[in-house]
Structure 1
């Protein structure tokens, strides 16, 4: 199978977190249609700082090899803030120097803030990186505004693609459970709202109800386990660490409610996982969530950093199985219409199609 696209991802599909999981889904969906996609890691494992320059050098070598052996291959560069931007500046500069067109795909919870904190020279380089891209993919309207208003990318070259996940299949009918399951997916951190979630679960509204919770993700797991124990939640809340795709599916299949009280997001993969599995989703109005979810119809919104409001929303769903089922069914329908892999791949292929003629010109040189 000839590869037509190469993805550059910090951590690759195995250690790239939510971005890596998304890219893995894209690669697998394309392979099912007989289309080859390659994945090149630009960083290595998050904890392997010494290996990062070697990974970036290998990525540059792959880019150079494509210029010679596969000049028509589409270069799809995935970028976030902080160190990811530094690596992708090197990669995109090399691509421009070799006359290779590229797509930039922004995954970040607040790229405007990250950009404005940087020195002027870096900001100028970042503007060049984005404005020179053939197309820029963003997760929602807020990021589209960052591209056009802050970075000067023409609106005609900005595409909004919300994230997606593989369809786990029609979930079985969720019968009322004596002990409903609450699921959290994501890095255990303040940004994801984990301290507020623990305080909400320990509140009087929930302490007298029957439920169990699994907070799955990497980060300072031991610290948050200790916090849960201190709040008296040790027997009701488990934190297994980062889960693979199969384990995540099994967890969602056994749950009833997906909660993600984030302070900031682009478009959280966890929210889409919840919709796909027919879970009742409780989250915050951050990033593109407001573009995806209708409050009271396909999910529930709570204010950022508000443990009492979060406890109230969770308590209502714990005690009202009919409401859980209603939100889950409507959320699942939303996933199928707007966030499935088939819908996502149709949009992505449209983006790639705009580069085909440019790629052919490069290949003919």
Structure 2
């Protein structure tokens, strides 16, 4: 089956917040844009604006519609790449998808969500119909793992030959310098501060009796309810060792990763977390939960330590073990970085993505999937 015509040379990525305020999706698209040896031009269209500016969202969506329509006229070979998650993101992409279908513009959907099946099943029938139409009208659907593939095929009715698994990737920053004996072990959390990311359990784990009384510090970097959790840090007596700097730009985030030793993400739900990939890429020991596609590639006690969702004692025990056992920390970090280099190379990701977007035949598409 032919997916796109050969004249396609521009990809327009439609995502909430753009590359600056788009969270993990924004970081992924920024990595794509800055990858070397691109064969397509990758442009970004913000569909929402900053998360904290509700008034900007309708305006940004209107601008995105304008970009889609004008792109159809000025550059009919362009591919419109709609990055979709649940909730408001789906509503915006339904609008863009309907517009694309009305004017004959081709589009792909790229699903980034921690539990799209549940979000879909909670909606009324009329919304489900619009969502099925959105997915059914896409030339192709990209998902992050096998769970999402099953959702797209079984709940949304997309044929298997129009769905591809393409796991998130990050650029290779090079492995961080090893921690010297006696140095403070630095723990890093990257993500929106909130319950879904497991921040309440993480702060409780930091206060748990199992945690060492000295020798570690932690940084929780991200937006969300920073003031609330800052107050909790203070109330727990953790102010001298736990910092919450808020949202950070990419350069500051990379600097934090380069100085950290442990990446922790005790999420209740993910697709495939960009924070986990940042940890693997920098050579950090990763502590995570078995959510989304994490356990499709990560392996407990080899490339990470898995802890049950919401289990504060288990989380505290895992962090304590890594703080006190430098050999285990280094072994997980080394194996995790080896996994990153073999499975999450940005060069390989871009080659597969661009081959998919420019594929001319079913045989070419099957070669892309098996690469």
Q: Distance in 2 between matches of 1:165 and 1:125?
A: 33
**What is the Cα deviation at residue 356 of structure 1?**
9.0
Q: Distance in 2 between matches of 1:250 and 1:356?
A: 43
**What is the Cα deviation at residue 283 of structure 1?**
0.4
Is the CA contact 1:5–1:37 (under 8 Å) kept in the aligned structure 2?
yes
Aligned to 2:106: 101
Q: Distance in 2 between matches of 1:174 and 1:229?
A: 28
Matches within 5 A, 1:2-41: 4-29=10-35, 32-33=37-38, 35-41=40-46
Judge which range, 198-207 or 119-128, deviates more.
198-207
Is the CA contact 1:140–1:160 (under 8 Å) kept in the aligned structure 2?
yes
Matches within 5 A, 1:129-278: 129-278=134-283
What SS does structure 2 have at the residue aligned with 1:240?
strand
Q: Distance in 2 between matches of 1:177 and 1:106?
A: 44
Q: Distance in 2 between matches of 1:100 and 1:214?
A: 44
**What is the Cα deviation at residue 354 of structure 1?**
2.8
**What is the Cα deviation at residue 98 of structure 1?**
1.0
**2:70 counterpart of 1:74:** no
**2:75 counterpart of 1:45:** no
What SS does structure 1 have at the residue aligned with 2:245?
coil
Aligned to 1:363: none
**What is the Cα deviation at residue 175 of structure 1?**
3.1
Q: Distance in 2 between matches of 1:356 and 1:26?
A: 24
Aligned to 1:361: none
**What is the Cα deviation at residue 163 of structure 1?**
0.9
Is the CA contact 1:212–1:237 (under 8 Å) kept in the aligned structure 2?
yes
**What is the Cα deviation at residue 350 of structure 1?**
2.6
Aligned to 1:294: 299
Q: Distance in 2 between matches of 1:172 and 1:4?
A: 39
What's the CA shift string for 1:284-335, capped at 9, x where partnerless?
0000100121111111100000010001111110001111111101101111
**What is the Cα deviation at residue 34 of structure 1?**
5.7
Aligned to 1:362: none
Is the CA contact 1:139–1:161 (under 8 Å) kept in the aligned structure 2?
yes
Q: Distance in 1 between matches of 2:215 and 2:70?
A: 58
Is the CA contact 1:3–1:38 (under 8 Å) kept in the aligned structure 2?
no
**What is the Cα deviation at residue 176 of structure 1?**
3.0
- The CA RMSD over aligned residues, in Å, is 1.5
Give the helix-richer structure, 1 or 2: 1
What SS does structure 2 have at the residue aligned with 1:123?
helix
What SS does structure 2 have at the residue aligned with 1:33?
coil
**2:69 counterpart of 1:64:** yes
Query: Structure 2: which 5+ runs fail to align?
Result: 1-7, 363-371
Judge which range, 153-162 or 340-349, deviates more.
340-349
What's the CA shift string for 1:30-58, capped at 9, x where partnerless?
6x536311101111111222221221111
What's the CA shift string for 1:220-279, capped at 9, x where partnerless?
111101111111111110000111111111111111100000011000000000000000
Query: Structure 1: which 5+ runs fail to align?
Result: 358-365
**What is the Cα deviation at residue 17 of structure 1?**
1.1
| TM-score (ref. length: structure 1) | 0.94
